[in-house]
Amino acid sequence: MLRIFSPMDGAILNRRDGVETEKGLEIEVRGTAYSRATVMVNGLPARVSGDSFTCKLPLRSRTTLIKAEAEWHDQKTPDSVTVLYDKNSFRRYRMSLDDNIEFLEDIALNARRYRSIFDNPYLGFWREMNQRYGMKLHINIYYEKPSGFNLTRMPDTFKNEWRENAHWLKMRFHARANDPNRPYLSAPYEKVAREFEMVENEQVRFAGEESRGDFTTIHWGEATREGCQAVRDRGIRGLPGYFVRQNDQWAVSYYLDGRQAEHMSQHDAWKDSAMNLFFIRHAIVINTVKLPDIPAHMQKVMAMPHASEILELMIHEQYFYPWYAAYIPEFRERVSATLEWVTTHGYRPVHYEEGFLGNPSSF
């Protein structure tokens, strides 16, 4: 048999995955084949040793179909994978916020008193972070909360201000509400589509189309393939998640199978070619890392050879508020320390919509 096992289908490759020159990126293709078979990779002869083969292959395009063919006893066996090349890649990061609705209710309740959305203390803090670090922010929002507030009660008074700040501040669907847990774990296409549109319609009404981000996080990072297809059909191009092993199962990993989730646990991004959908690995969930431990955590992330080029930084809204049972008094300090770390280590703020996963110079 012939099988390409590295790179895997949908792999996103950059300067850390080979030797990059002005002509492109030279990578190594590895796989298995019959012993003594003749193996060609994209027309180049591979080196066969035992039942393994390797071949140096240059990538010169954004997308490359890698096709290997083994000839053995007058029989030809093919295998192929598609990979993407992040040309001229650089260290970059995005800040995202999960479980958001409290700040929207506050703006709605104070619409006559506030002269700006940034009069809200939560958004005011994030504007301060933008001004200090150039940070770009994506907010994952709910439609409603148990108090009875929902997005239909959001005024369009500040629509122009949302639009004016859309270059750094974007939002998109997270879920209908915080509860129940894992609402889309087994949800059909229709449920996710309906609840996505409930958020979408109101967001566009009060904040404008410009406020929409194309990469969002589905609540709990869990959804069926059909549910993910529903958001992909509505303009979502990528989904961040944890991709961690918990109780012998992959968690916060959407519908990915074991091999795909394992790959994501060691890489910052991957693309499901069949779905035309990107996945991004969270580099840090700030509310889970104590302030003194943030530098060591980030240093550990940066030491990962394939998961340190694109960093997704995340924190949950509820930890900002003193009334929350697990309130973090140092919320601001943790965020600032994380942003300070990525800034001093040469990471640039991006939105993933800008070019290729935030790389505007990639082809």
* Predicted confidence pLDDT, tens digits, the chain (363 residues): 899 999 999 999 999 999 999 999 999 999 999 888 999 999 999 999 999 999 999 999 999 999 999 998 778 889 999 999 999 999 999 999 999 999 999 999 999 999 999 999 999 999 999 999 999 999 999 999 999 999 999 999 999 999 999 999 999 999 999 999 999 999 999 999 999 999 999 999 999 999 999 999 999 999 999 999 999 999 999 999 999 999 989 999 999 999 999 999 999 999 999 999 999 999 999 999 999 999 999 999 999 999 999 999 999 999 999 999 999 999 999 999 999 999 999 999 999 999 999 999 878
Nearest to 315 by CA among 292, 342, 289, 340: 289
Helix (H) or strand (E) holding 94: strand 92-100
The reported pLDDT for the residue numbered 1 is 80
The reported pLDDT for the residue numbered 277 is 98
Q: Provide the residue ranges of all domains of the chain, joining segments of one domain with +.
A: 3-85, 92-349
CATH code that applies to domain 3-85: 2.60.40.10
Name beta bridge partners: 28: 56
* Exposed / middle / buried, residue 177 (Cβ in 10 Å: 0-12, 13-18, 19+): middle
What is the DSSP secondary-structure string of 98-110?
A: EEE-HHHHHHHHT
The reported pLDDT for the residue numbered 234 is 98
The reported pLDDT for the residue numbered 35 is 84
- What's the N-to-C CA distance of the chain in angstroms? 36
**Residue 40 CA neighbour count, 13 Å, CB half:** 8
The reported pLDDT for the residue numbered 74 is 74
User: How many C-beta atoms lie closer than 10 Å to residue 41's C-beta?
Assistant: 23
The reported pLDDT for the residue numbered 361 is 84
Nearest to 201 by CA among 168, 224, 176: 176
Is residue 317 classed as helix, strand or coil in its secondary structure? helix
What type of residue sits at position 124? G
CATH code that applies to domain 92-349: 3.20.20.370
Cα–Cα distance list, 151 to 98, 115, 120 (Å): 16, 20, 16
- Cβ atoms 59, 42 nearer than 8 A: no
Distance CA 181, CA 193 (A): 18
Q: What does DSSP say about strands 277-285 and 310-316: parallel, antiparallel, or unpaired?
A: parallel
Residues with Cβ within 8 Å of residue 195, at least 6 apart in sequence: 143, 173, 175, 176
Instruction: Write out the two tokens for 207.
Output: 């904040």
Sign of CA dihedral 100, 199, 205, 170: positive
